[in-house]
Amino acid sequence: MDPAEITAGSLHLRVPQLAEVEQIAAACTDPEIARWTRVPSPYGRQDAVAFVHRSLEDWHADRAATFAVLDATTAGLLGSVRLVFDPLTSEPLTSNPPASGPRYDPDVPGGPTASVGYWTAPQARGAGVGRRAVASLCRWGFGFLALERISWTAAVGNDASRRLAEAVGFTVEGVARRGLVLHGRRVDAWTGSLLPGEVR
């Protein structure tokens, strides 16, 4: 799948580029991002370079759609959002599945599904940037990719992620006991879902 771009008012979403490496590295040294996500810690410039390259590879392999969230006026980095496509769905996202083999199973009923992930740079918090970026991403996923369900998972205690997910329209369905591996250990996780037509 070729990388896409999404314009959402004052936000511009596109594939991360090497021009953002320094900004990505600076954002991902934030203690809250390090605490609640799986980014390497400590996080350095080479980790940001690897993130940029891996993001593009994931697009072309139909594994994930990762976007840098930018200020549409200044091009400053505000965060990152991504959809990770579930491996067993009934339809390919493109007419040309990756050479390693299709990531879908024709015997599984229903259309494609994905899970969402996101982080917001410290300077962009409190202004609705994360909510607007995730909502725009989910609308794109349901509209352009015809996703049937988007799931969300966060470690129990990550209240900021839960507030954002609920503001976008996700329904929190419960707690998956030891359902998330974070920093090398299993922790309890909140789980939720979003269906077409539920994005706020």
Residue 26: what pLDDT?
A: 97
Residue 102: what pLDDT?
A: 38
Residue 87: what pLDDT?
A: 81
Cβ distance 9 to 133 under 8 Å?
Answer: no
Return the CATH number of 6-148, one of 3.40.50.300, 3.40.50.360, 3.40.630.30, 3.20.20.10. 3.40.630.30
Give average pLDDT by consecutive 10-residue segment, the chain, 200 residues: 95 97 97 96 96 97 96 97 82 48 53 95 96 98 95 98 98 98 96 98
Each domain of the chain, given as residue ranges in start order, spans 6-148
State the greatest distance between any 2 C-alpha atoms of the chain, in Å, as a whole number. 47
Terminal alpha carbon distance of the chain: 27
Cβ distance 103 to 114 under 8 Å?
Answer: no
SS (H, E, C) 140-184: HHHHCCCCCEEEEEEECCCHHHHHHHHHHCCEEEEEEEEEEEECC
Residue 108: what pLDDT?
A: 57
Could you give the CA distance from residue 195 to residue 200 in angstroms, rounded to a whole number? 11
Read off the pTM: 0.89
Among residues 121, 114, 95, which one has the least CA distance to residue 193?
Answer: 114
Q: DSSP assignment, residue 121? A: -
Question: Which tokens go with 182?
Answer: 């974070």
Residue with tokens 């091009």: 75
Which contacts (CB < 8 Å, 24+ apart) does range 81-84 have?
81/13, 81/116, 81/117, 81/118, 81/133, 81/134, 81/137, 82/55, 82/116, 82/117, 82/118, 82/137, 83/114, 83/115, 83/116, 83/137, 83/141, 83/145, 83/147, 83/150, 84/114, 84/115, 84/116, 84/117
